[in-house]
Amino acid sequence: MTSARLLWKGFGYILYSYFIFIMSFIFIHFIFFKVNLPMTNEPPKAPPLYPKSHLLAASGIAALLSLALLVFPSSEVEAKKTTLNLELETPVEQLKQQENAHQQANEESAPSPFAQIDNSAEPTEEAAKTATPATPSTAKTEPSHREVTVARGDTLSTLFAKVGLPATAVHEVLAANKQAKQFSQLKHGQVLEIELDKDGQLASLHSKVSDLETIRLTKGANGYAFNREVTKPVVRSAYVHGVIKSSLSASAQRAGLNHSLTMDMASIFGYDIDFAQDIRQGDEFDVVYEQKVANGKVVGNGNILSARFTNRGKSYTAVRYTNKAGNTSYYTADGNSMRKAFIRTPVDFARISSRFSAGRKHPILNKIRAHKGVDYAAPRGTPIKAAGDGKVLLAGRRGGYGNTVIIQHGNSYQTLYGHMQGFAKGVKTGGSVKQGQIIGYIGTTGLSTGPHLHYEFQVNGVHVDPLGQKLPMADPIAKAERQRFMQQSQPLMARMDQEKATLLASSKR
């Protein structure tokens, strides 16, 4: 078979070489020899530059080179050459192979009776080794710890599904304890830490609700047990200093005072300063307050311990003091009460849209009539506070005032709050209120062109200007408490002075 294949291959090379030789000869003949083509009038060409014998020799050499390249290729060609073994069998040999294959198939399809007996016997030792019965996998995984972060739209069910827990696990957790339902009150960004046992079941679940509180659910012999861990923060004092550049809230935020403490400061000095109209650019404030720290992180704020506010060049100071009876209030540095019988403004940070006047053109009635109060413009729904302790004479509708609250303060003073959107919960006619308590919300009921509070102040039945009225003061520090008060207030006042001096010195460097 191999010799016949080589013979065919050599014959092909000879035919290919002969073809190359003939084509080369014809090409040279047409190029270098004179050929008379029909239907041409061109003049006869010059005789060839080389003799015929030379040209024949060149053609032969070219043919021999072509044959050599085919028979003996270069190493590159040899390396890239692909050889295909095409074994061409004669028809007789193909018939013989087909008969042999047919006989072998018949023998396999009809096994002997002895082979059937052998097959029905017990398996051999090798078969027993290879054909071992398949047993289910009982391998248990190691306990694992998983953490999942609550995304928008997540529920406890979706979070359990992410770690491979079934939906029934959610029911078991929520039914374990009433307090365990807190795990269903998830917040965006909250992290749940899940412990799985060797069987992939829930072993424990805990989450950090806040910087100070962690809830945990642990599986025991009697089911799940709920536990709440509360970290007690360390309370320390902190100091801030600020200068008013635009508004109190913006300046306080820039100084590092949050909104809650800013409102507390305004409430402390609200008896002496009208934060709606008295604030000026360049006013300053100093505050020493409680700061709560846990694990080296600030987690909250407490009360203002001492504060100073300089308004239009005049300074007001306040110190927090708790007497022996447990009552806490703010006093000046020399022991006078910061608290007056009435707060100066019943609405925080509102704009005065109309002042007290004996003759003003009413915007709706178009008549000149006395404006016996002060109007504070603020967004609809802004809280309104009671100016002082007293009894509610009216919490209802009153003519052009719309929704109105009237409070009697002792025997001499009375305040009125008109155009309210609605009343605060628990405020009703005949009830009592405390100073600073929210009694309602700014609206535009009655004869009103826009949301605002109409505030009136009466002394012995006579309307007076709330902004110009001198307010009565509360009782000062008792003589028996004065020494104890001074021992607490003097270090706080000295702290503010020292911190401010250090801050100013560092800013000049």
Residue 445 near residue 426 (C-beta atoms within 8 A): no
Alpha carbons 224 and 150: distance in angstroms, whole number:
22
Phi, psi of 268 (to 5 degrees): -65, -45
Residue 384 lies in a domain: yes
453 and 495 inside one domain: no
218 and 299 inside one domain: no
325 and 301 inside one domain: yes
Alpha carbons 454 and 372: distance in angstroms, whole number:
9
Range of the domain at 419: 351-464
Residue 56 lies in a domain: no
Compute the mean pLDDT over every residue in the chain, rounded to the nearest whole number. 79
Alpha carbons 170 and 237: distance in angstroms, whole number:
44
By the 10 Å C-beta count (0-12 exposed, 13-18 middle, 19+ buried), 387 is classed as buried
Residue 16 lies in a domain: no
413 and 458 inside one domain: yes
What does the pLDDT look like over 250-285, one tens digit per residue?
999 999 999 999 999 998 998 888 887 788 999 999
For position 333, which CATH number holds?
3.10.450.350
Give SS3 for 116. helix
> Treating both helix axes as pointing N-terminal to C-terminal, what angle do 2-32 and 52-71 enclose, rounded to 10 degrees?
150
For position 437, which CATH number holds?
2.70.70.10
Give SS3 for 345. coil
Number of domains in the chain: 3
Q: What angle do CA 41, 45, 49 make, to 5 degrees?
A: 165
Average pLDDT over residues 124-137: 44
237 and 160 inside one domain: no
Average pLDDT over residues 306-335: 93
Domain boundary among 178, 209, 230: 230
Record the pTM: 0.53
Average pLDDT over residues 417-427: 95
What does the pLDDT look like over 10-24, one tens digit per residue?
666 676 666 666 666
> What pLDDT is attached to residue 102?
53
Where residue 144 falls (left for φ over 0; alpha for ψ -120 to 50; beta otherwise) is beta
262 and 179 inside one domain: no
Q: Which of 329-343, 434-448, 469-483, 487-501 has the lowest mean pLDDT?
A: 469-483
What Cα–Cα distance (Å) separates residue 324 from each residue in 39, 305, 319, 335, 478?
141, 17, 16, 15, 11
> What pLDDT is attached to residue 103?
55
Residue 128 lies in a domain: no
Residue 312 lies in a domain: yes
Residue 345 near residue 278 (C-beta atoms within 8 A): no
Residue 373 lies in a domain: yes
Amino acid letter for position 393 = L
Residue 6 lies in a domain: no
361 and 212 inside one domain: no
242 and 331 inside one domain: yes
314 and 242 inside one domain: yes
168 and 244 inside one domain: no
Domain boundary among 206, 230, 254: 230
What does the pLDDT look like over 302-319, one tens digit per residue?
999 999 999 999 999 999
Residue 101 lies in a domain: no
> What pLDDT is attached to residue 50?
53
CA quadruple 293, 299, 304, 308: dihedral sign: positive
Give SS3 for 135. coil
> What pLDDT is attached to residue 43?
53
What does the pLDDT look like over 226-243, one tens digit per residue?
888 888 999 999 999 999
CA quadruple 326, 328, 334, 339: dihedral sign: negative
Average pLDDT over residues 378-390: 93
> What pLDDT is attached to residue 25?
63
Alpha carbons 341 and 386: distance in angstroms, whole number:
11
Domain boundary among 160, 195, 230: 230
184 and 213 inside one domain: yes
Residue 261 near residue 314 (C-beta atoms within 8 A): no
Q: Residue 26: which residues within 8 A CB-CB, separation 6 or more?
A: none
355 and 456 inside one domain: yes
